[in-house]
Structure 1
Amino acid sequence: KSALFNFQSLLLVFLLLICTSTYVRGAAPGLIDRKKSGFLGVFFKCARIGERLSPYVSLACIAMAVTIMVGT
């Protein structure tokens, strides 16, 4: 199955992208820069979402983990 056609997998990919971008921006801020545009600018936007909405992102990660564990 492709992650584009399965809604749960698509949400999982977005959550992983947000969490990974936020972690990389915290560990090495020079890699994810706000002045980059295009494809690399997506990583900055995801990192910003992770920084500003971290309680909601963490709740979404917990909810996703529970649904994966129960739904399998």
Structure 2
Amino acid sequence: MSAIFDFTSMLTVVLLFICTMAFLRPRISWISAHRTGFEGIPWKLARIGERASPAVAVGCIAMAVYILFIV
């Protein structure tokens, strides 16, 4: 099943994108260059990862526990 149609997989992919963009933003200049439109999605994900890092961390831990022990 595709990650688009399964909520758990989609949530995992979104959390991974948020964490990846927050990690790569200081290292790659093009992430901060485009802030609007489709090209602004990496910048927005990086901002979510920076500003809401405790919530993202709790989400990652909860998803890891769910995947390891429940699924």
**TM-score, length-normalised on structure 2?**
0.90
Q: CA deviation at 1:31?
A: 2.7
Deviation at 1:42, TM superposition (A): 0.2
SS at match of 2:31: coil
Matched, 1:4 2:18: no
Q: 1:29 deviation in Å?
A: 4.3
Please give the root-mean-square deviation of Cα atoms over the aligned residues, in Å: 1.4
Whole-angstrom distance in 1 between the partners of 2:41 and 2:10: 16
Deviations 1:41-67 (CA, angstroms, capped at 9, x unpaired): 000000000000000000000000000
The alignment's TM-score, normalised by the length of structure 1, stands at 0.88
Query: 5+ residue gaps in structure 1?
Result: none
31-40 or 14-23, larger mean C-alpha shift: 31-40
How far residue 36 of structure 1 moved from its aligned partner, in angstroms, is: 4.0
Runs of 5+ unmatched residues, structure 2: none
Q: Deviations over 1:5-61 (max 9, x none)?
A: 1100010010011000000003x1413115343322000000000000000000000
Identity of aligned residues (%): 48
